[in-house]
Structure 1
Amino acid sequence: MTFAKQPVRVSATGGNAEEGLGIEVCDADAVTLQRYREDCSDARFMPAQSPDWVAAWAKHAPHPPIIARLCDGDGHLMSLALEVARQGRFGVARFIGDRHANGNFPALNRRVRDGLPGSHLQMLVDAIRHARPDIDLLVLERQVRNCGDQTNPLSGWPHGDSPNVSLAVDLEGGFDAVLERSSGKRKRKQHRSQARKLEAAGGYERRLAGSRAEAEAMLDAFFEMKAHRFALMGVQDVFAPDRVKASFRTLFGDAAEMQNPGFVLHGLEVAGRLRAVTGSSRVGARLICEFSSFADDELSEASPGRFLFYENIESACSQGLKIYDFSVGDEYYKRLWCDLETIQFDTFVPLTAKGRALALARGGIARAKRLINNNPRLWAIAKAVRRRLTPLRG
């Protein structure tokens, strides 16, 4: 089935006509993206639904993403930015950025406190189904339940816990207090030892990308490091597709030229070479590590990745931030710091009969992943099998 290249605009009304309730589903063209940015000026959202993220991913998407906008007589209520993809014979709509979009929360007007009525959510389903009959299933994964004092309205749909935990550090009390809560004496000693090794290797500098050229250089290093790490682990490189790399180059390149960027790159440079890189987003008083990697070279024993995290967390404390968020994924290096644990949630909303079958399958897979991830023995077996199935590439 094909659709017109022009923006698809469908309005649906329901409920009390005096309320002026309605929803519009549009291709994410320049006009729609500008309105989305304007709506977000009086809305809360998490980074992967921010105007900058949505615009960057929309620029490099093979097909125009869509934005569903719900409003009432007082104006904007909620917007949801989605990308549409084919999975076999199924069409799915998911958060724009797919697996790179974590901690998801839609753009929700600040006047909406306690979610939205079920009738509003049904309007959303009906409007998307009408505008895009090629979509069988809404796949809305890795969502947070709250953003500030607002409840995620999408929690009004049936949902289940996401397979992977999200870990974070409470920065209350400053860096000294953080260290006191997490084996601080050992961390300080280790950090001093690492610093001596890095100085002996030619000196080090923690850098913030302050220009597009610096952002490009850090991303080039990160993509190379991550590809090597994924190959060693036997994991598919989710950063490999050209459109993924291009989206991050646009996102962080644009941000590096802003005065108050919502996305930042930090790199640890030793002897003139980048040895570790982190890409982070900021929302309110929370700094979220979206991705990270380190070089597997002669300095890997000095743990440049852990050294950079120490520096990042110390810097976040000095800026008065309240949370350093390692995002989704349970890893040993995160557990060394974290004292906050959050379970996000997934929602699968079928729009067609085919979609109902896929929703059941996706729900079953999510439950199986949760079982494996929560069982150390099963998780160890799964990682060993994964390494054998994905040989190291030259």
Structure 2
Amino acid sequence: MAFKVETLSFSQWAAAWAEPAGADPGAACLFQSPAYLSLWLDTMGRARRTEPVFVRVDTTDGRRVMLLPLGVERRHGLKTLTFLDGGVVDYAGPVRLGPAAGEIDWEGAQALWAALRAALPAFDIADLDKMPAEIEGTPNPLRWLATASQPSGWALPLEGAYDDYQRGLNPYAVDSRRKRRRLQDLGPVSFEIAREPLVARQFYDAMVEQKTRRYLETAGKDYFQTPGWSAYFSQVAAREDFGRQVHLSALKVGDRIVATHLGMISGDTFYWLMPTYEAGPVAKLSPGRLLMEELIGWCYGAGIRSFDFGHGDEDYKARMGGRRRSLLRLVRGDSLAGRAALKVARSKPARAVQDFYWSKLYRPPKPA
């Protein structure tokens, strides 16, 4: 199989997204949609000085293979080819796959990579991570090139009724009822969704305060100081399509916000993205988990079919009924400097440092 690779402007790429392909556009991942990428480029992309590279791949006989939203940015002095992420994206990969994508075998993947390298701007290292093994019901054509597995993605299929889920699948249901009663001793408990800008701003400010504290506790770093993060999350929360694509909610005791969540909706999937909760004695009553259960119940009522817990292998995701989604990572050196850097990074001393960092210094917080 031979390939034709084109680099497009963002507007051309967005138009190609809208063309008929092997699956409906709504089935593609939220994080690679033109609307989302426009926001990402204006915030994260600008702050990170990412050079976006929008790619279309067809076979030489004119059949659609895929679209790729890529970028080149400097990491440790090396030009790195990556998806448009910067730490705020749960899933990435090719999108709008055509039928030809499913025909690519190992040999075809090597030819595909050669065609991509020839068409893309120069880079030292390719680091394409968080890729689902299957996209839009079609095997990911880059899976043959993946060199490592990522932490998994997890999603809860919303089948049957919420009451059935609480009785049969949620192992925390009894404990949650007990803690909710204790929370009610402090004041009336309410679940609220931001539906107008003033409320959204209140919830957002509480979210930043609570999440900053949690980042400092678990990682010793305020990630909202990472270039682009504050502008990105602020613009997401400020969108006026509350309850449709952007979803900002809170659990309150009286007028006190004890937990918040900033998520997104795409098609029939709800994405659990940025949960926070208040510190102190109230944290022992698991307000973050109570808010998650409220959101799952809301999704059942809204006709949402999947509650996506996102990227990461925290225990609670499987315990709450989540199903694992395999994710892949492609890492390749494309220059002498890039190959040398990867060789050093893969050495035993370097791996030991990385293992220590991830196991000791950063522990992803569980919902309280």
- Mapped to 2, the partners of 1:104 and 1:382 lie a distance apart of 24
Kept after mapping to 1: 8 A contact 2:64/2:98:
no
Does the 8 A contact of 1:115 with 1:150 survive in 2? no
Of all paired residues, the percent bearing the same amino acid is 19
Kindly indicate whether the alpha-carbon contact (under 8 Å) linking 2:133 and 2:326 is maintained by their aligned counterparts in 1. no
Equivalent residue, structure 1, for 2:6: 24
1:97 counterpart letter in structure 2: D
Alignment partner of 1:221 is 2:206? yes
Q: Is the 8 A contact 1:22 1:71 kept in 2?
A: yes
1:305-334 alpha-carbon deviations (Å, 9 max, x no partner): 010011112222233433322112233443
Partner SS for 2:224: coil
Question: Are positions 1:349 and 2:329 aligned together?
Answer: no
Counterparts in 2 of 1:107 and 1:139: CA distance versus 1, 3 Å: same
Match of 1:382 in 2: 359
**Structure 2 counterpart SS, 1:65:** strand
Query: Which whole-Å CA distance do the structure 2 matches of 1:338 and 1:368 have between them?
Result: 33
Q: What is the aligned partner in structure 1 of residue 138 from structure 2?
A: 150
2:299 aligns with one of 290, 299, 316:
316
TM-score by length of 1: 0.76
Q: Name the counterpart of 1:109.
A: 97
Gap runs ≥5 in structure 2: 364-368
Which one is further off, 202-211 or 299-308?
Answer: 202-211
Q: Which amino acid aligns with 1:382?
A: S
Distance 1:215 1:280 in 2: 12
- Matched letter for residue 93 of structure 1: L
Match for 2:258 among 268, 275, 288?
A: 275
* 3-state DSSP of counterpart to 2:251: strand
Deviation at residue 27 of structure 1 after TM alignment: 5.8
Shift of 1:363: 5.6
1:139 to 127, 131, 151: 127
Q: Distance in 1 between matches of 2:229 and 2:16?
A: 22
Q: Counterpart of 1:170?
A: 157
Deviation of 1:352 (Å): 1.8
Instruction: For residue 195 of structure 2, give the secondary structure of its aligned residue in structure 1.
Output: coil
Match of 2:241 in 1: 257
Among residues 83, 86, 111, which one is paired with 1:98 in the alignment? 86
Task: Report the secondary structure of 1:53's partner residue.
Answer: helix
Alignment partner of 1:122 out of 114, 122, 125: 114
SS, match of residue 98 in structure 1:
coil
CA RMSD of aligned residues (A): 3.3
- Alpha-carbon distance in structure 2 between the residues aligned to 1:259 and 1:324: 15
- Aligned partners of 1:363, 1:289: CA distance in 2, in Å? 32
Question: Are 1:328 and 2:311 an aligned pair?
Answer: yes
Asked if structure 2 preserves the Cα contact closer than 8 Å seen for 1:268 and 1:275, the reply is yes
CA distance in 1, matches of 2:347, 2:152: 18
Superposition TM-score, scaled by structure 2 size: 0.81
- CA shift digits 1:12-57 (9 cap, x unpaired): xx94xxxxx53222464xx346436535995442222122221111
